[in-house]
Each structure stands twice: as structure tokens, then as C-alpha cells.
Amino acid sequence: MKKKVWLITGVSSGFGYELTKQLLAKGEIVVGTVRNEKNVIGLMEKYPDTFFRQFLDVTDIPKIQELVTNVREKLGRIDVVISNAGYGLFGAAEELTDSEVDHILATNLTGSIQLIRAVIPIMREQGHGRIIQISSYGGQVAFAGNSMYHATKWGIEGFVESVAQEVAPFDIGMTIVEPGGARTQFRYGSAQVANLMSEYNGNPAMPF
């Protein structure tokens, strides 16, 4: 059976890291994006022929297109995309700063939208593909103090459900994954509290 080519964003921790480990152990090919390679050095050493680390900040839209184009040119196809990069932001809506609002929208919502838009033409041309969007049970329910996180998750789910109908005739499937509580760094690592972004050097977007 031919190995699939997987493109996964945010593989340095959490779901992205665990998915990457399992796929590589099964012999699949994974292009994984990170902003810091520290946590994936072991994977790079263990799977030098099937794991390809790429640096990407999903708020950089031209870089998303550049990455997708390069993967297609070097590996010939993209069979599965897992849009996983994102973070949480806790705080009352009125106390969030404009920059905090803009950044979580750019990361969780716009970044995911632009990644999906970039890969669809490739999958349509090759005649198949699967796009998996990591969302959250927070894309279906809402709690106080999580307004912007919910806004991004409800938004990306609406986008995916609509686009799924557009691409179905081209044998492109779309899946939304809505995890609940899980043993990842989300609550104590990647999720941020309003107005504390400076503690993370102004770059708080950590992958799930």
C-alpha cells in the first residue's frame, strides 16, 4: 500500500505531536509544521526519511501558500491535511485587548481557513484528499470567559461544513474533530489569560 502524505500544523505538542508519532510509526509520510523545533528533534532523528519539519506561523498567509506549494512539488501530492494549530484565550470580552482579539482570530480562524483554501486546488487536481479540522466541543457550546475562543471554533466549523459540500464532488472529504478534555498542554500551556500575552514574548500561539 502506498504511503500517504500528511500535512499537519502544530506538531510540537498535544494532538499534533501524538498524531505525528503514531503516523510515523505506521510508516506514513508526515510534513509537520512548528514554530520551535525543540520538541520534534527526536522525531527528526528517528524518521529522517519520512518526517519533514517545516517552520510556519499560520498567521503568515503567504507562507501557508508557499508551504503547500513546496510540499506538492517535493512529494508529489498531499493526501491528508490536519489543521491543528491554535490556542485558547481566557477572559471577559470587555477586558481583551484589540491585539489579543486580532491574534486569536488570525491564528485559529483565518489561519485554518487559508490552509484549507490553499490545499483544495491541489486535492481537486489529484482527484482525492481528506481535510481534518481540529476544533473543540467549544465549537458547539459556549461558556463565560471564553468568548473569542468560541468565536473561532464556531466560525471554523461553519466554514468547514459549508466547504465540505463544495468539494464533495471532487472526492475530497472534510472532517471536524471536537475533543473535550484531554491530557494536552491546552489548559496549562497553550491557553492564555487576557492581558498576559507579554509573558510569551508577544507570540502566544501554541499548538494544541
> Which domain CATH number covers 179?
3.40.50.720
CA angle 182, 139, 179 (to 5 degrees): 20
Burial of 188 per CB tally in 10 Å (0-12, 13-18, 19+): exposed
Q: Alpha helices of the chain — where are they, by DSSP H?
A: 14-25, 41-46, 61-75, 98-104, 111-126, 147-167
Residue 181: per-residue pLDDT: 54
- List the one residue out of 138, 132, 126 whose CA is nearest residue 186: 138
**What backbone phi and psi angles, to 5 degrees, belong to 188?**
-110, 5
Q: What is the pLDDT of residue 194?
A: 55
Longest dimension (CA), the chain: 54
Q: Which pLDDT tens digit goes with each residue over 82-104?
A: 999 999 999 999 999 999 999 99
The C-alpha cell at 93 is 470580552
pLDDT band at 2 (very low <50, low <70, confident <90, very high): confident
pLDDT of residue 72 exceeding 90: yes
- Greater model confidence, 193 or 205: 193
Instruction: Provide the pLDDT for residue 24.
Output: 98
Indicate the pTM of the whole model.
0.85
| Residue written as grid cell 502566544 | 204
> How many folded domains does the chain comprise?
1
What pLDDT is stored for residue 1 in this prediction? 66
Told to judge if 198 belongs to the known catalytic residues of this protein, a careful annotator would answer no
Has residue 208 been placed in a domain?
Answer: no
**Averaged pLDDT for residues 135-154:** 93
Bridging pattern class, strands 89-90 and 192-193: parallel
Task: Answer whether residue 135 is part of any domain.
Answer: yes
Confirm whether 205 is domain-assigned.
Answer: no
The verdict on residue 72 lying in a domain is yes
Q: What was the pLDDT predicted at 203?
A: 36
Classify residue 32: in a domain, yes or no: yes
The active-site residue, picked from 21, 47, 87, 153, is: 153
Residue 44 lies in a domain: yes
Lookup result for grid cell 487559508: 114
Mean pLDDT for 14-27 is: 96
**Does a structural domain hold residue 207?**
no
Structural domain span for residue 88: 5-200
- Among this protein's residues, is 147 annotated catalytic? no
DSSP for residue 67 = H
Query: Which residue among 112, 135, 136, 190 is the active-site one?
Result: 135
Report the chain's mean pLDDT, rounded to a whole number: 89
